[in-house]
Amino acid sequence: MGIAWLDGTRRPSAGRVLAVVSVLPALVVAGWLLAALPLLLAGWYRPVPALVLGAVVIGALCWFALRRPLKAVEGTGQATARQVGAVVAVAVGSGVFNAIMHSEQLIVRRDPATYAQYAIWLAGHGSLPIPAQAEAFGGADPALMFESVGFYDVDGSVVPQFMPGPPLLFAAGDWLGGLLLTPAVLGALAVLTLAGVVGRLVGGRWAPVAALAFAVSLPILYTSRTTFSEIPSLILLFGGLALVHDALSRGSIQRRGGALAGLVFGLAVLVRIDGLRDVLPVLAFAGTLIAWRRLGRPQGALGPPLLLGLAVGAGLGLLAAYVLARPYLSYLSRSVNPLLLICAAVLVLTMAGTLAAPRLARIRLPRWLPDVGAVLVVLVMVGLAVRPWLQTVRRVATTEEDKLTAAFIEQSQKIDRLPVDGTRLYSELSLHWVSWYVGVPVIVLATIAAAVLVRGLLRNGSPAEWLLPLAVIGWTTVTTLLRPEITPDQPWAARRLVPVVIPGLILLAVWGLEWVRGRAILRGYGRWIAAAGTVLILVPPVITSIGTAFTQVERGERAAVEAMCAKIPPNASVLIVERVTGNRFTQLVRGMCGRPAAQVRAVTGDTADEADVRRMIARVRATGRVPVVLAAEAAQVAAYGPKTQVMALVTPQDERALVDAPNGTWTLRIDVWMAVG
């Protein structure tokens, strides 16, 4: 049996086409991760087995999801065909535009290059951990450091930071010759995914508007041009919402669809450890469905398979975190440990609520509760809006990482001519960040929509299809805005808004606009509401994005890196004697240049002691290899042999705005000098 979108005809309706193509991205991403993770754990993540197994698993997931007809996205006739065509055009245009404007962040300064180097290693070697190759330096030595930014030294091997999900996807792109273009492809798939959810929950007429508002938002452009984890997470989370909706909307409850939806949701943990927080509402929703099952409601049949799928997907993510990213979990322990406790509390409460379902069903909610719920939604958003006048969020640096962050913030404050205070986190501005990137009209419409939906759900349980989407969007939006937990410079901090906040608010905003339009039509003045509302949704993000949308950042890095690698002797052991150069290039030299690399520890300051460097040069020579010394300045390598500048990169980099939206770029200069000992 093939994909059942024909529904008895040889030509599928446009609405059914959108229903299918909008869940395919989540199925492809989930299928690839399911195939790739076991291969990586076994050390066999190679092109042939990965492509074969990936094709089988993706095909199986598509068969399970699409073997019976999906409910068509609302819309009829030629109008719906135009809507679907517009959505596809926005997605393709987004992918092409971001591919043209893609970044080349390969030199490790922040997370994108860490993900890129992680992916490059997986693409070339297919296994973890990364060998430190201490023997190439005459064995381990107290002066040698094999770790660098984003890569931990664990028992003589190197372990990458972050969850392995995104690098597994980016490595596949590297095999196909497009590592740096993969984010643009994923960004285009994210546009399709969000449009599908909008079509299901709001209607086909609003899918193109939401797709375009999403695609032009600066954080989406930003994370679709370089190797971040947020876009794959978005695809899984919103793909899961679409799959749950489909499983509940067919003629009969689809248990297989529920299990698949839970699996897709759970795999968000394999992409980002924050995925644990994002899928907590799914756990509670599965418990609610199980409770409904005890009360005889047919939708309750979806609860057990949804919970099972969620447990399997999240379990795979936690297994990968424990086996492949344990140092990263230790680094995030201040956030991860409370999150695990919250997960345990939600699980206990869900179990208790399920067991007590018959008694709870007899409780009559107060008549005033729906109105109070709607008012609370508005008050939460108002509170977030006025927060900058009521609170200044600070954190006193206690760890080395905190001290580096504080120094970074102070440097940015000096450049932006702000009061210098490294304890400032600027988290109180989080809703203002959202207003920069999607506009105040979207926030207002989304707030109206959330208030109306909460009121309806508390009053009569309608519209029931909104229960899970509203829970996911509301929970993640509020928790993210309260504690973004990220260095606050823009556009960097905007990535926190990508997986749920921005697409969720756009989804709610178009529902709110349709709600307003419907009431205006009843009063006889709704003719222009849709057009005016569309303009209000689209114009503000365009105005913010236009300042940087056509600017390419960090271009030229690939050519600069390849030129540097070509100048390093093939049998070299690379000693990096300056701290910043070591942080940026240790894994790059190891992974892209294919040479053993290590930093020589600096006892004081940023440059290693000359005696330690000469001793390590002698040890390298004793192995029969060529000692190569790298640093940022000619004077730092001159003592060890004839000096050569192997990199002189000048390229635009992202701005570091702290109190307003970014509207330009800064200049990045990177110099590397080499001496052959």
Give the tens place of pLDDT for each residue, 254-313: 788 899 999 999 999 999 999 999 999 999 999 989 888 877 777 888 999 999 999 999
Indicate if 184 and 285 belong to the same structural domain: no
Mean per-residue pLDDT for 538-558?
95
Residue 16's pLDDT band, with cuts at 50, 70 and 90, is confident
Query: Over 90: is that where the pLDDT of 498 sits?
Result: yes
Q: How large is the average pLDDT for residues 367-371?
A: 91
Nearest Cα neighbor of 31 from 54, 48, 51, 47 is 54
DSSP, collapsed to helix, strand or coil, labels residue 534 as: helix
Indicate whether 88 and 225 sit together in one domain: yes
**Is the domain of 90 the same as that of 215?**
yes
Residues 123-137: what's their mean pLDDT?
Answer: 96
Which segments of 525-556 does DSSP mark as H helices, in order? 529-545
**Do 305 and 215 share a structural domain?**
no
Q: Over 90: is that where the pLDDT of 605 sits?
A: no
Q: Rg for the chain (alpha carbons), in Å? A: 26
* 331 and 341 fall within a common domain: yes
Peptide bond into 129 cis (omega under 30): yes
The pTM (predicted TM-score) of the whole model is 0.95
- Identify whether 55 is part of a domain: yes
Q: Give the pLDDT confidence score for residue 1 in this predicted structure.
A: 40
> Do 64 and 260 meet the contact criterion of CB atoms below 8 Å apart?
yes
DSSP 28-61: HHHHHHHHHHHHHHHT---HHHHHHHHHHHHHHH
Q: Are residues 205 and 321 located together in one domain of the fold?
A: no
Give the Cα separation of 500 and 492 in Å (integer). 16
- Single out the residue in 222, 251, 280 at which a domain terminates: 251
- What is the pLDDT, as a whole number, of residue 72? 63
Q: Are residues 188 and 90 in the same domain?
A: yes
Is 244 contained in some domain? Answer: yes
**Sole residue written with tokens 């798939």:** 189
Mean pLDDT, rounded, for 639-652: 96
The angle, 0 to 180 degrees and rounded to 10, between the axes of the packed helices 182-201 and 165-175 is 120
Residue 658 structure tokens? 């702290």
Mean pLDDT of 410-439: 94
Answer yes or no: is 663 within a domain.
yes
Domain end: 328, 363, 398, which one?
A: 363
Q: Using CB atoms within 10 A of its CB, is residue 294 exposed (0-12), middle (13-18) or buried (19+)?
A: middle
In a shared domain, residues 629 and 590: yes
Within a domain: 300: yes
191 CB-near residues (< 8 Å, 6+ apart): 87, 90, 91, 94, 211, 214, 215
How high is the pLDDT of residue 250? 65
Q: Which of 158, 79, 73, 173 is nearest to 120 (CA)?
A: 173
Same structural domain, 282 and 345: yes
Using alpha carbons, select from 627, 630, 629 the residue that is nearest to residue 671.
Answer: 630
Together in a domain, 200 and 348: no
Tokens of 82: 């135009």
Question: How many domains does one find in the chain?
Answer: 3
Same domain assignment for residues 23 and 147: no
Binned at pLDDT 50, 70 and 90, residue 77 comes out as very low
Give the separation between CA 46 and CA 44, rounded to whole angstroms: 6
Alpha helices in 101-201 (DSSP H): 111-125, 165-175, 182-201
- The pair of structure tokens assigned to 243 is 């799959």
Q: Same structural domain for residues 101 and 18?
A: yes
pLDDT digits (tens, 9 = 90+) for 472-483: 999 999 999 999
The more confidently predicted of residues 388 and 398 is: 388
Mean pLDDT of 636-642: 95
Out of 251, 282, 315, a domain closes at 251
The β-bridge partners of 669 are 650
- What's the pLDDT score for residue 10? 59
- Report if residue 528 sits inside a domain: no
569: containing domain: 129-163+553-676
580: part of which helix (H) or strand (E)? helix 579-588
State residue 253's pLDDT score. 61
